[in-house]
């Protein structure tokens, strides 16, 4: 199925990022729980986190190796029990859906639009979503970085996803919160929208005359059943640069 955007652009597939697109950004409190275990400030932990994620998301290190490396960088000591807690906390803080986004994926699949998931994701999170998330079935093809040993914005990981979907770059729309990832997709010839909120995404899709739109967050609830108020996020609170 091909969909016509303005300018006779034919879109037959939509590829979505995971962190900060399908799920919300972790809160300062959630990140703070991890920083406290290394006895460092939030700011220092965030700096180390951002600098260290690439190799971990690519599968170069095991979870134990990764967290021990962070401990060495902060001159702190963590034991095996603390490592297990860190692993659990990290999975938990990336498991809060953005209202309406998974339903939007389901609606696109029902409309005959191919859907792709393309995420920089370490093995712990890969294993969690593969085993526990029924919404994964709504994606025609899934590219999770640790499984393919590639990370965005490497062009090869985009090409892997396009090949898996059986589509060309020019008939694909890519949605991601990170500008470097958006730039890489556009360089390959993909159409791209940089995600800031569900409301903004809906507006941009309407401008593209895309026929299937996500619901605004006002009438949606989070996975805990409480109303989600993060649809218009403060961009300074978007922490992880990679997922």
> Which residues, in sequence order, are bridge partners of residue 23?
19, 97
Q: Which residues does the chain have with pLDDT short of 50?
A: 1-4, 7-8, 219-243
For the chain, give the mean pLDDT.
87
Residue 123 CA to residue 139 CA, distance in Å, equals: 19
Measured from the Cβ of residue 241, the count of other Cβ atoms closer than 10 Å reads 18
Residues 6+ apart with CB under 8 A from 148: 157, 160
Task: Provide the pLDDT for residue 31.
Answer: 87
- The per-residue pLDDT for range 56-76, each reduced to its tens digit, is 999 999 999 999 999 999 999
* Phi, psi angle pair for 222, to nearest 5°: -80, 180
* Phi, psi angle pair for 214, to nearest 5°: -75, 150
* Omega cis (within 30) before 204: no
Dihedral of alpha carbons 107, 109, 114, 120, sign: positive
Task: Provide the pLDDT for residue 214.
Answer: 95
Q: Is 16 exposed, middle or buried (0-12, 13-18, 19+ CB in 10 A)?
A: buried
Q: Give the predicted TM-score (pTM) of the model.
A: 0.86
First-to-last CA distance in the chain? 29
Measured from the Cβ of residue 216, the count of other Cβ atoms closer than 10 Å reads 15
Q: Return the percentage of the chain with pLDDT > 70, whole number.
A: 85
């Amino acid at each position: 199925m091909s969909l016509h955007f303005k300018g006779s652009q034919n879109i037959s597939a939509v590829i979505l990022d995971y962190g900060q697109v399908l799920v919300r950004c972790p809160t300062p409190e959630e990140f703070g729980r991890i920083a406290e275990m290394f006895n460092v400030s939030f700011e220092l932990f965030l700096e180390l986190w951002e600098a260290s994620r690439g190799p971990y998301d690519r599968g170069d290190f095991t979870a134990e190796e990764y967290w021990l490396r962070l401990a060495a960088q902060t001159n702190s000591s963590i034991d095996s029990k603390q490592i297990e807690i860190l692993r659990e906390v990290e999975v938990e803080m990336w498991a809060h859906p953005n209202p309406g986004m998974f339903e939007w994926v389901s609606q696109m699949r029902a409309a005959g639009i191919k859907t792709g998931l393309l995420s920089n994701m370490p093995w712990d999170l890969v294993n969690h979503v593969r085993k526990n998330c029924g919404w994964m079935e709504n994606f025609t093809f899934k590219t999770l970085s640790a499984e393919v040993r590639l990370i965005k914005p490497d062009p090869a990981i985009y090409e892997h996803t396009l090949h898996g979907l059986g589509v060309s770059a020019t008939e694909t729309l890519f949605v991601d919160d990170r500008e470097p990832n958006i730039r890489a997709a556009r360089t390959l010839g993909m159409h791209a929208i940089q995600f800031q909120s569900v409301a903004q995404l809906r507006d941009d899709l309407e401008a593209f005359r895309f026929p299937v739109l996500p619901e605004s967050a006002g009438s949606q609830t989070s996975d805990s059943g409480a109303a989600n108020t993060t649809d218009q996020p403060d961009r300074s609170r978007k922490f992880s640069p990679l997922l």
